C-alpha cells in the first residue's frame, strides 16, 4: 500500500487534502498501467483522470480500506476498457501513417544511439500490441495485468471478483492464443 488506511478514511469523509495525497501517491503507477493498457499516449492522462474522478465519487462505497488497491485497479481496468470500447481500434502508429515530411525527419534523425534505442523500444511495443491483437480486449487487459504489470492471481481475483480457477483457465487460453500468434510471427519472419 502506498498510503495508510487513515488517509483513505479521511478521503472517504470528503477531505480534499487527503484525496489529493492519494492521487499523488498512485498517479504515476496508474498512468503507467493505463499507458500499457490503452497504448495511446495522448489519451493516457484523460483516462487516468477518469479513474480518479470515479474514485472520488465512489470512495464512500469502499467498506474496508484493505481492499483499496485492488479496487483502484478495478476502476483503472474498467476505465481503460470503456475507453477501448469507445475507440475500437488499437494504436497503429507506423511509418505508413506519417506524413512524407515526418518520414524524412525520422530518417534523418534515426542515426544516433538514443534513436536506435527508441526504435528498438518502439518495435517491441508494436510487436506486443500486434501479438495481443490475437485475443479480445478483455483478455488483452487480463494478460497485461498478469504478465506485464506483474499482478498475482490472488490480486486479479480481488480485482475481477472471479474464482481463481476460472481466471487461470482464461489466462491459459489467452496465453495459448498469443503463443500461437508469436510462433506464427516467428516463422513468417524466418531466420534473420
Q: Which residues bind other proteins (CB under 8 A)?
A: 20, 23-24, 27-29, 31-32, 35-36, 41, 44-45, 48-49, 52-53, 56-57, 120-122, 124-125, 127-128, 131, 147-148, 150, 175, 178-179, 182-183, 186
Nearer to other proteins, 66 or 172 (CB): 172
> Residue 79 and residue 48: Cα distance in Å, rounded?
8
Smallest gap, in angstroms, from Cβ of residue 36 to other proteins? Answer: 5
**What cell was used for 1?**
500500500
Smallest gap, in angstroms, from Cβ of residue 81 to other proteins? Answer: 18
Nearer to other proteins, 87 or 91 (CB): 91
Smallest gap, in angstroms, from Cβ of residue 172 to other proteins? Answer: 11
C-alpha distances (whole Å) from 119 to each of 30, 109, 135, 191 are 25, 11, 25, 21
> Residue 73 and residue 138: Cα distance in Å, rounded?
14
How many other CB atoms sit within 10 Å of the CB of residue 137? 16
Nearer to other proteins, 127 or 163 (CB): 127
Nearer to other proteins, 41 or 163 (CB): 41
Give the burial class of 23: count Cβ atoms within 10 A of its Cβ; 0-12 exposed, 13-18 middle, 19 or more buried: middle
Amino acid at each position: 500500500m502506498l498510503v495508510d488506511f487513515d488517509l483513505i478514511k479521511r478521503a472517504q469523509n470528503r477531505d480534499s487534502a487527503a484525496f489529493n495525497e492519494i492521487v499523488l501517491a498512485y498517479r504515476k503507477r496508474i498512468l503507467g498501467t493505463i499507458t500499457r493498457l490503452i497504448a495511446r499516449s495522448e489519451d493516457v492522462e484523460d483516462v487516468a483522470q477518469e479513474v480518479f474522478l470515479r474514485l472520488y465519487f465512489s470512495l464512500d462505497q469502499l467498506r474496508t480500506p484493505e481492499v483499496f488497491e485492488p479496487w483502484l485497479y478495478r476502476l483503472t481496468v474498467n476505465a481503460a476498457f470503456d475507453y477501448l470500447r469507445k475507440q475500437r481500434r488499437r494504436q497503429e502508429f507506423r511509418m505508413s501513417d506519417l506524413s512524407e515530411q515526418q518520414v524524412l525527419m525520422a530518417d534523418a534523425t534515426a542515426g544516433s544511439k538514443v534513436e536506435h534505442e527508441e526504435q528498438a523500444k518502439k518495435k517491441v511495443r508494436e510487436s506486443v500490441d500486434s501479438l495481443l491483437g490475437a485475443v479480445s480486449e478483455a483478455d488483452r487487459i487480463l494478460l497485461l495485468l498478469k504478465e506485464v504489470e506483474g499482478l498475482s492471481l490472488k490480486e486479479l481475483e480481488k480485482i475481477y471478483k472471479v474464482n481463481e480457477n476460472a481466471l487461470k483457465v482464461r489466462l491459459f487460453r489467452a496465453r495459448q492464443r498469443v503463443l500461437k500468434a508469436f510462433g506464427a510471427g516467428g516463422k513468417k519472419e524466418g531466420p534473420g
